[in-house]
Structure 1
C-alpha cells in the first residue's frame, strides 16, 4: 500500500476511534427518558447537523463532557432532524437549544451559560451543588479555589436569621458564583472575620476581599457582584453577561494592540479604584469585536471610549474628534459621575405618518407609541439583517391587520416594530426577533412573548396577557404555520465582523448585511 494510503487509513481509524470514545452521549426518543431519569444531572443539546452554531459548539461540548464525566455530570445530544417528536416535546424552537435535567424529564432548566468548555464546566458544577455548600476544615481550602469567584459566609450554627439571609443571596446568583458557608469558629478566626461575615475569594486582583457592611441581603448581593468584576477587566465571551447584570455603568476602552491595552489598563487604575462599585472599567478587543462600537454610538476608529448605563441602556461616547488619553478619559468619567454628560441617542427619522397595519417605532417616538397607557402595544424588536425577522415579517403584517382594520380593536391594541440596531431602546433585548407586550396600565412591566411564531398563538397571547383582553381570533382566516427558527440570536454582546463565532450570543450587532450577520464574531 502506498505510504499516503497507509497514512489516510490510520487517520480514518483514529477518527473512528475518536468518535466511538466520545464522552457526549447520543440519545434517541427510546433512550432519552431512561438516561435522564437514571442520572442526577444531565445537560442536553438539541441540535441539527447543518446548524453552524452547533458545529462551533461541538468541540467545546466534547471537551466539557470529558471534564465533567468524573464528577458524574453527563452531557448528551439529540439530533432534531431525526428525533423531531422528542425535540418538539421539549419545546425546541431553535438550534442549538441546551437544557439542564436533574433526575427527571419534567421541568428542565434552560442553560444560560456561555458556550465555551470552561464556562459549561463551571455552570454545570454549580448546578450539581446546593445553592450554599456546607464547608468544613477539610473542604474549605479546595472550595475557595473551585471557581473564579467563590463567596463564603462565616455564620454561627444557631444564627438562623443570618443563615436565611445568606441563602436568599445565594439562590438567585447560584448560576454565577459558588456559595459556601461554615459555622466553625476556628475557620472564621483564620479568615479574620467575626461571624456573621462574608469573604469573596477570587482568581484575579486581590484574591481575598472581606465584606465589612451590615449583614443584609441587598448589601451582600451588591458586594458579591462588585467583587466578581476585576478592577479593569476585559469584555469577552465569559464576562459580558456579568458586566451587563452588575447593575452599574460599564466604561469600555476599545484597543487594537496589547501595548495600547496595557497603557490604558495601567493608566486608568487610579480612577477605577476611586469609583470601584460605581463604574466598571474594561478593555475590549477592537480587532475581534470592533462592530460593538456602533452599539455605543461610536465610529470604528481606535482607540475609542464610551460609557454604557447598563440599567437604562443609555450610551455616552467620548468625542472621537479629540485625542483619547488617560487624562481625557479620567476627566470624562468624572463629568459623567457629576451628571454633566448627556447621553447620545441613536434614532432613525420619525415617520411623517404611520402607514399600514404595523406602527414603526424609532428612538424619538418610542415613548409616544410604546408607553401609550391606553393601549396594549405588542412590539417586535428586530434587526434589518436578521433572517428570522424577515421570515416573521409577513406574519407580523397579518397580525397587525387583525387589529388595524377593526376600529374598535385599533383603539385598544397596537402592533409595532423597531429596528433595535438603528435605534436606542431602553429595553433589555436578548435576541432577534424579541417580542414584548406593553399592556395598558402596566407599562413598567412588559411581558416577554415566549410562544410559537404563528398569528394564531400571538393573537391568543394578546387576548390572555393584554389589559383589554381583545380577542381577534374570529378574524383569522386560517391558522398560520409555525415559523422555522433555526439558529436564534442569543445574548446581547459585542460583535465583530469576520470570524464565525457563535452569533447566537449577541443581539446588538449593527452589521449592515445579512451575510455579515452570519459571520461576525459574537460574544
Structure 2
C-alpha cells in the first residue's frame, strides 16, 4: 500500500517530463519560409507515416528540452501538409534535419541521438572559432568534447587565416577554439607560437604542416590534417558516421562485434575489440597516418560491406578510396596483436588479397545481397506480412501474364473457327 503512491508519482513525473520536453518543439507551418533567416533554427522535416520519424520524435523532444535555454529554436514541419516548404528546401527523404543561421543552411547527416544532434547545433550556433579567455574553461571543454582543435596565438598571420578558413569548412563536424599562451598554459604546451593542436584521448597532438609562407600548400595540408584528425582514435562506427570516415581516405580498420538492445556486449567480444584498439593505441605513430581504427556494433553494416555473413567477432579493413575490403585469413578469435600488425603490413604493401570494389557487377551483387538479407529478416519477423507484401504483387503479375496468354489463345481459336467455317461454305 505504501509503494503504490511512489510508483504513481514516478509515472506521473515521467509523463509530465515527456510532455514538457515535447512541448518545447515548435510546430511550424509554411510561414516558416518568411522567418527562417531570423535567428537560429534547428528543424526536423518529417512525414506522419514515416517510421524513422516516429522513432526520432521522442529524441527530438529531448533535443528541444536541452537547447531550450540557448538561442536555438527547435521545431518541426509536416512536409505532407506543407509541401511547398519541402520543395523550397529540396527535401528528398524523411526525416531531414536542417540548421538555419541567417542565409546559411546546414544538413545534419550524423547519428540520430540526442547528444550528437545537440553537439551539431551548438557547433553551428557560434562562430567557426570560439575564443577561450579563461584557463578554467579548458577543464569544462575537455569534459564536454572528446575531440577539439585549438589555435594558440594572435589572430593574425597565414597560420591563423588558414586555421579560420578550415574551421569554417568543418564547423558542422568539429569544435574549433583559439586562445593564448598565458591562458592555455599546461593545457596546450608549446615552445613556439602560433601553433595548432588537436585534443583527443587526454593528449594534444601538434600540427606540423607545410611551409607557412606557402599559403596554398599550408591550406591543403591543414585541410587534410583536420579532416583526418576530427575523429577519435577508436570511434564507434555506425551508418550515421561511416560516410564521414570514408572521407579520410585512409584504410578503415574495423573490429566487428554485436550489441544487444541494452548496448551490452559479450565478454569475449569486448576482449577482441580491446585487443584491436590496443594496436593503434600502442603503435599510433606507426599506423595513424595510413589507418583509421574503429569498431562496429551492428553486424548488418559489416555484412553489407563484406557481402557475406561475417563471423562474430571479426576484423575487416576497408580501402576508403577504392571501396575494396580485406579480411584476414586467420580465424578472428585466434588473431593476436602481432598477427593484426602483419595483416596491416600486407595491406600497406598491397600484398593482401582484395575483395569487393566499385565495379558494376559488385554493385549489382551488393544490391542483391542487401535485398535478400532484408527479405530474410522480414520473413523471420513477420512471415504473414512478408507474404502479403510480396505475394500480392507477384500474384497480380501472374494474373496479367495469364490474361495476356489466354487472350492470345482465344484469338487463335477464333481465327481457326472462322477459317473452318469459310471452308465449309466453299
Q: TM-score, normalised by structure 1?
A: 0.59
Deviations 1:253-295 (A, max 9, x none): 223532332344336644555212211222322xx32452341
> Superposed, which structure 2 residues align to 1:105-504 within 5 Å?
108-137=105-134, 140-141=137-138, 142-143=140-141, 145-157=143-155, 159-182=156-179, 184-187=180-183, 190=186, 191-193=188-190, 194-202=192-200, 205-214=201-210, 215=212, 216-236=218-238, 239-256=241-258, 257-266=269-278, 269-271=281-283, 273-285=285-297, 288-319=298-329, 324-326=334-336, 327-345=338-356, 361-363=360-362, 419=364, 421-422=366-367
Kept in 2, the 8 Å contact 1:291–1:509? The answer is no
Q: TM-score, normalised by structure 2?
A: 0.71
Question: What SS does the corresponding residue of 2:355 show, helix, strand or coil?
Answer: coil
5+ long unaligned stretches in structure 2: 213-217, 259-268, 382-426
Instruction: Report the Cα offset of residue 152 of structure 1.
Output: 0.9
Decide which structure has the larger Cα Rg and report it. Answer: 2
State how far apart, in whole Å, the 2-side matches of 1:10 and 1:146 are. Answer: 30
Kept in 1, the 8 Å contact 2:25–2:74? The answer is yes
Between Structure 1 and Structure 2, how many residues are aligned?
Answer: 355
Instruction: Report the Cα offset of residue 230 of structure 1.
Output: 3.6
The residue number in structure 1 matching 2:19 is: 19
5+ long unaligned stretches in structure 1: 349-360, 364-417, 424-507
Change (3 A) 1:45 1:291: closer
Kept in 2, the 8 Å contact 1:47–1:96? The answer is yes
Kept in 2, the 8 Å contact 1:44–1:77? The answer is yes
Change (3 A) 1:309 1:319: same
State how far apart, in whole Å, the 2-side matches of 1:519 and 1:229 are. Answer: 37
Deviations 1:295-316 (A, max 9, x none): 1255322232221111221111
State how far apart, in whole Å, the 2-side matches of 1:420 and 1:168 are. Answer: 42
Kept in 1, the 8 Å contact 2:325–2:357? The answer is no
Deviations 1:353-388 (A, max 9, x none): xxxxxxxx424xxxxxxxxxxxxxxxxxxxxxxxxx
State how far apart, in whole Å, the 2-side matches of 1:341 and 1:207 are. Answer: 33
State how far apart, in whole Å, the 1-side matches of 2:14 and 2:318 are. Answer: 50
